[in-house]
Amino acid sequence: MDAYITKIKAISERLLKDGTVEAVIGFREGTMPMMSEPCFIKSSDDVKDLVWNANCRINLANYLTNRKEKIAIVAKGCDSRNIVNHIIENKIKRDQLFIIGVPCKGMNDKNTGALQDNCGTCTHRNPVIYDELVGDLVVEQTGVDKYADVKKVEAMSTDEKWAFFEDMYSTCTRCYACRNACPLCYCPTCFVDESKPQWVGKATDPIDVRTYHFLRAYHCAGRCTDCGSCEAACPQNIKVRQLTKKLEKDCAELFGWEAGLTLDKRPPLDTFNVDDPNDFIK
C-alpha cells in the first residue's frame, strides 16, 4: 500500500506539472474513520493529500461523467471496468483519460474492517485498462462462487422471496446514497426525481421503496460491475447488491456477458442477436 501511494503521488505530480492533465481524481483522508473520500487534485502542490488504503472503496468512475478536460484517474479493477462502461456509453473519451491502474487486493468493509463482501468474490482485481500501473499485477481469484447469496434467494418460494426483500428494504430511508455513489446512475434527472410524470411515490411506503430499488437495479442490467459502491455508501447497511447481482448472473447465463471488460463489444441489452434467448415471450 505504501509503495502504491508513493507511485500514485509521483505519477500525479508529474502529470499535473507537465500539463498532461488538468486534474487527478483520487482519494484523500476522509473526515470519518475508515472512510477515504474521493477528491479532485488540480495543483501539484496538493498531491500530498492523496492517500491509498483499504478504505478507498467508492468507485471513482462516477466522477468522470461528461467531463471535458484531460483528466487522470486512480483506478482499481472495478473502477477500470466502469471506466470502460463510461467510454462505451460515450460519457467520456478514452483520449481524455490517463488511467493510473492500481492492482487491488480488496477493500475493507466500512463497518467490520474485514474484506468487503463483493471483494471476496471479485475475479477482476487488476485494472482492465490503464496507462500506467503503480505496482505488479496481483493474482486473480479463481473458483469463487460469486452468486451464492443469489442462489439462496432463487431457491426460496415466491412468498419467501417477497418477505425477504420486504425485510431487507424495511430500513431504507430513500436517501439515494446508493444511486449517487453508483457510476452507472448518471441520468441528468433520475426517474425518482421526476414529477411530471411522477413515476413512483417519493416517500418510504414499502411499495415505493421496492419500486425504486427494483428499477434502479434494472437500469444497471448488463452494466453493473459489482463494485460495491452502493453498499459501501448505504448508511443503513442494506444489501443493495442483491438485485444487481441477480441481473449480473442472468447476463452471464443468458448472454455470456460480463460488464466492462472490453471496449470492442457492445453490451447485450444494446444489441440484437437472432440467438438471443426469448423463452419468456409467448
Partner 1 sequence: MKNLMEHMGVEPGRLQFSWISSAESTKFVDVVKQVTASVKELGPNEKFIKKTVKVA
Which backbone phi and psi does 133 adopt, to 5 degrees?
A: -95, 150
- Candidates 95, 159, 264, 275; binder of partner 1 (CB under 8 A) is 159
Cβ–Cβ under 8 Å, residues 267 and 259: yes
- Candidates 60, 83, 243, 259; binder of partner 1 (CB under 8 A) is 243
Minimum distance from CB of 199 to partner 1 (Å)? 14
158 is a site residue for partner 1 (CB under 8 A): yes
Q: Residue 258: name the closest of 222, 221, 220, 230 by CA.
A: 222
Contacts of partner 1 in 217-236 (CB under 8 A): 217-218, 221
- Candidates 35, 250, 261, 267; binder of partner 1 (CB under 8 A) is 250
- Classified as helix, coil or strand, 5 is helix
| Degrees, nearest 5: CA angle 36-38-40 | 135
Q: Residue 270: name the closest of 143, 88, 140 by CA.
A: 88
185 is a site residue for partner 1 (CB under 8 A): no
Cβ–Cβ under 8 Å, residues 50 and 8: yes
Of 144 and 163, which has the nearer Cβ to partner 1?
Answer: 163
Cβ–Cβ under 8 Å, residues 37 and 68: no
Binding part of the chain for partner 1, among 24-32, 124-132, 154-162, 174-182 by CB under 8 A, reads 154-162
Minimum distance from CB of 217 to partner 1 (Å)? 7
Applying CB under 8 A, the residues found at the interface with partner 1 are 150, 153-154, 158-166, 201, 205-208, 210, 214, 217-218, 221, 243, 246-247, 250, 280-282
